[in-house]
Chains A and B, each alone.
Chain A
Amino acid sequence: MRRSTDDAGMARPRGALKAAATYILLSLGAVSMLLPLYWMLLTSLEPGDVAFSSGAIHWWPSKFLWSNYPEAMKAVNIPRLYLNSAIVAIIGTFGQVLTSSMAAFAFARLSFPGRDKLFFAYLATMMVPGSVTMIPNFVLLRWFGWIDTYQALIIPGMFSAYGTFLLRQFFMGLPTELEDAAKIDGSSYLGIWARITLPLSKPALATLTTFTFMGFWGSYMWPLIIIQSEGLRTLPIGLASFVGRYSAEYSLWMAASVIALVPVLLLFMFNQRYFQEGIKMSGIKG
């Protein structure tokens, strides 16, 4: 078995009975976690009329109707929604990680007048509900003439007090010896940031990237407010509006939902570690 901090816990299994009870309880939980997701897959492969027939629970598709997927893709225009979501999430995440890591470097490593006061202002705004800033942001972008544009979806989300805070805390914990040596060698601050701080912070950057990407990908309220034309809709908006229009096409609902979940599940599969690290980081430092 893999030895890691995960296994270095307190528990000592007190006999097979206790282990068996744990497995039974955990399995019951696992079944209730998976059942709705399994039902989603199952429905997505059923003909519409089977999904409709009352009183007929079956746990295996009566026939595998894969054509539900292309049909859902066509009805919801999923390629377009995917493209929009990807553009917004990728550019927005890159922007947020870049600006946050720069600001975090200034807060963690440089001294300048008013630094602590400014950092406190960043912290204080993390308490402000999104609904407070939502209306002025809408008005501001309307004034810019950005309503119904990609900029409106991307730019307001690129500057995060939370990301700055998270990275600043991580940078503070890094040893300064390498930086001092680089400074003596005449390296600029930009060089230190790019060649020392960032490479040492890969886990924190990966965590922030994962979380920010998930945030952009799932964002709902802001795109709903700021986007009017169908061609600029992101995946969540497109999916919700499809469900509103086709009120009883459950097979297609589920097929579209499955397609919408694929990127997130892939991200999770390859980045599982960063999901959990990120949660711990926000919890411990918060």
Chain B
Amino acid sequence: MSKSSQKETLAALGFLTPNLLGFLAFTLVPVFWSLALAFTYWDLFRPPRFVGLFNFVSLLGWHYDPYLKQTVMNDPFFWKYVGNTVFLMLAIPVGIAASLIAALLMNQKLKGITVFRTIYFLPTVCSGVAILVLWKWLYNNDIGLINNLIARFGDLIGRPLTGPNWLGDAAWSKPSLMLMGLWSGLGGFNMILYLAALQGVPRELYEAAAMDGASSWKSFWAVTWPSISPTTFFILIMSVIGGFQGGFMAANVMTGGGPAGSTTTIEYYIYTVAFMRFLMGYASAIAWVLFVVILAITLLTWRLGGRVVHYA
């Protein structure tokens, strides 16, 4: 190694050290540590005990129940919560479409568009506990704004209307959270990304489409949609990754995971297993299963996406 490159390596070491130490201590080592913990039983009070694949079998396996006379999952709760998480993710395509429509409307040279953009972005800025508390109030069964508006609408059409018990009814709790998510996410990250993408579509393509006599509808599908497909693809992958890890705050602040476990997501389950039941090994196993699922789905989406996405 020459003297100058040695000097450069030393300098690099100096620049890297603070970040690298933290990265090793709080990210890289914990990833492998967590994998090791997944093969143990550990309640934090006694030393961890190696249990082989026991956690994974308890989580993913099944057995024959002689009383019920049927095969049951070892941890039926986990599968229920996986179902909840996936159900909540059904709002993703709706949210993406809504963000795209909003971006299309805003991508016009009209006065005051910036004001709209700011207003639509407000829920994203405010997102957090305060907004969850607000929606808990809006969804109040008896005196919340939403059920009040429904009742007033009933008066208006001369027919008594009663809104559902939003967060208190296992059938409505998930749609409630999805509606809230739509409100808070519509004008946020996805819309801004779409706006940036729309502004990057070459103007000539629209002019060519217009010359061929294409309607706005046709030119959207022929020009806009393919041109912004990398953005759609990026948003989709990020939303799916986020969706699998979502639901913790809403469950913790608004519903306690209920009613009847209907709003408990995988993430909230991991938290309760680790920090309320102190099963560190089992919680680590769930986290790793989640990690592997996210990785697999991302890779799959990536491969499928490669076929439909047009990169300029």
Contact = CB atoms under 8 A, between A and B. Distances in A.
Note whether A and B form a binding pair. Answer: yes
Interface of A: 1, 5-13, 19, 22-23, 25-26, 29-30, 32-37, 39-40, 43, 51-55, 57, 98-100, 102-103, 105-106, 110-113, 115, 118, 121-122, 125, 127-140, 142, 155-156, 158-159, 161, 164, 188-190, 193, 217-218, 220-221, 224-225, 235-236, 239-240, 243, 250, 253-254, 256-258, 260-261, 264-265, 268, 272, 275-276, 279-280, 283-284, 286
B57 interface: no
A265 B126 contact: yes
Contacts of A224: 252
Contacts of A53: 143
11 contacts: A1-B111, A29-B105, A33-B122, A110-B8, A128-B27, A136-B37, A137-B26, A221-B271, A239-B129, A280-B196, A283-B189
B123 A99 contact: no
B249 interface: yes
A8 to B, nearest CB: 7
The 9 closest A-B pairs by CB, nearest first: A159-B22, A136-B30, A103-B19, A257-B130, A11-B108, A106-B15, A112-B12, A99-B19, A236-B129
B249 A34 contact: no
B27 A125 contact: yes
Nearest to B219: A10
A105 B15 contact: yes
Given A136-B34, A225-B275, A102 B105 contact: no
B15 A236 contact: no
B23 A286 contact: no
Contact of A57 (B27, B145, B267): B145
A80 to B, nearest CB: 16
Given A13-B110, A131-B290, A37 B9 contact: no
Nearest to A100: B19
The main secondary structure of chain B at its interface with chain A is: helix
A110 B120 contact: no
Contacts of B118: 272
Of the listed residues A26, A139, A155, the one surrounded by the most CB atoms of chain B closer than 10 A to its CB is A26
Question: Interface residue tally of chain B, by bracket?
Answer: 35 or more
A279 B193 contact: yes
B295 interface: yes
A22 B196 CA distance: 19
A132 B249 contact: no
Given A6-B199, A276-B121, 6 more contacts: A10-B198, A54-B143, A106-B12, A111-B12, A133-B27, A161-B27
Contact of A261 (B110, B126, B149): B126
Given A30-B116, A103-B15, A257-B130, A133 B23 contact: no
A127 B298 contact: yes
B22 to A, nearest CB: 3
Contacts of A133: 26-27, 30-31, 34
A5 B133 contact: no
Nearest to B8: A110
B201 interface: yes
